[in-house]
């Protein structure tokens, strides 16, 4: 029986992968680095520690990873303050699911961005546990962020359902032992192998309700 639901944030609540992509591409190119589809896809799901190191090592950026991370996060904060790219139906879905189950959040975003998004949407009180992958040893597709979310919820991961959109996120939640509700990202869809691991697949978050969680 499912006793809690853990949401991803980027791609599930926010159409933010495009924002991340645009911000990092501009940042890298302005500094003479390389940014292409290979680099973009490789970074999906990485923690801030991982993607900032990746840009330093593979995109030709001279700045140290900590400086890259700080610069990009500040650009993301500015982008979100100008326009928060909420996915239609996401806030209502969280409120719907939160009316019955305790909620967690397991995100690859930085802590500052998680807190900003939840505050701006008024959803902070609904989440009993929130985890950034920068707070665990490994980012997605490793299970660490979902295992930590379950620990903070006080539950075994097998008693949790995860809501995910990406190949790395689906693999992360599944390897943690959670039931997985996939809502494929239309811009950066998960590969067929990852999607086959999901217990339920939806076309949009507007379809997420109690019956879907119960069906997992």
Give SS3 for 138: coil
pLDDT tens, position by position, 22-67: 999 999 999 999 999 889 888 877 888 889 999 999 999 999 999 9
Per residue in 90-133, pLDDT (tens digit) is: 999 999 999 999 999 999 999 999 999 999 999 999 999 999 99
6 three-class SS: strand
Last-in-domain residue among 58, 82, 106: 82
Q: Indicate whether 73 and 90 sit together in one domain.
A: no
**Helices 48-58 and 65-82: crossing angle, nearest 10°?**
120
CA dihedral of 93, 166, 203, 85, whole degrees rounded to 10: 50
> Number of folded domains in the chain?
2
Does 70 share its domain with 52? Answer: yes
Taking the C-alpha atoms of residue 4 and residue 2, their distance in angstroms, rounded to an integer, is: 6
Active-site annotation, residues? 8, 10
Structure pTM? Answer: 0.90
Omega before 147 within 30 of 0, i.e. cis: no
Same domain, 34 and 11: no
**Host domain of residue 97:** 4-15+85-215
């Amino acid at each position: 029986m499912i006793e809690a639901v853990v949401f991803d944030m980027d791609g599930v609540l926010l159409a933010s992968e495009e924002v991340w992509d645009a911000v990092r591409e501009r940042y890298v190119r302005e500094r003479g680095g390389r940014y292409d589809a290979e680099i973009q896809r490789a970074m999906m799901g990485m923690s801030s520690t991982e993607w900032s190191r990746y840009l330093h090592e593979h995109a030709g950026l001279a700045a140290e990873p900590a400086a890259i991370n700080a610069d990009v996060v500040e650009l993301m904060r500015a982008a979100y303050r100008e326009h928060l790219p909420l996915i239609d139906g996401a806030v209502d879905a969280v409120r719907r699911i939160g009316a019955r189950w305790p909620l967690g959040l397991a995100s690859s975003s930085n802590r500052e961005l998680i807190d900003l998004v939840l505050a701006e949407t008024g959803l902070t009180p609904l989440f009993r546990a929130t985890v950034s992958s920068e707070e665990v040893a490994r980012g997605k597709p490793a299970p660490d962020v979902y295992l930590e979310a379950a620990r903070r919820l006080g539950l075994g991961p097998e008693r949790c359902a995860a809501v995910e959109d990406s190949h790395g996120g689906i693999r992360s939640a599944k390897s943690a032992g959670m039931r997985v509700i996939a809502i494929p990202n239309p811009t950066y869809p998960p590969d067929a192998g990852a999607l086959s691991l999901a217990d339920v697949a939806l076309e949009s978050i507007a379809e997420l309700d109690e019956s879907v969680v119960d069906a997992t």
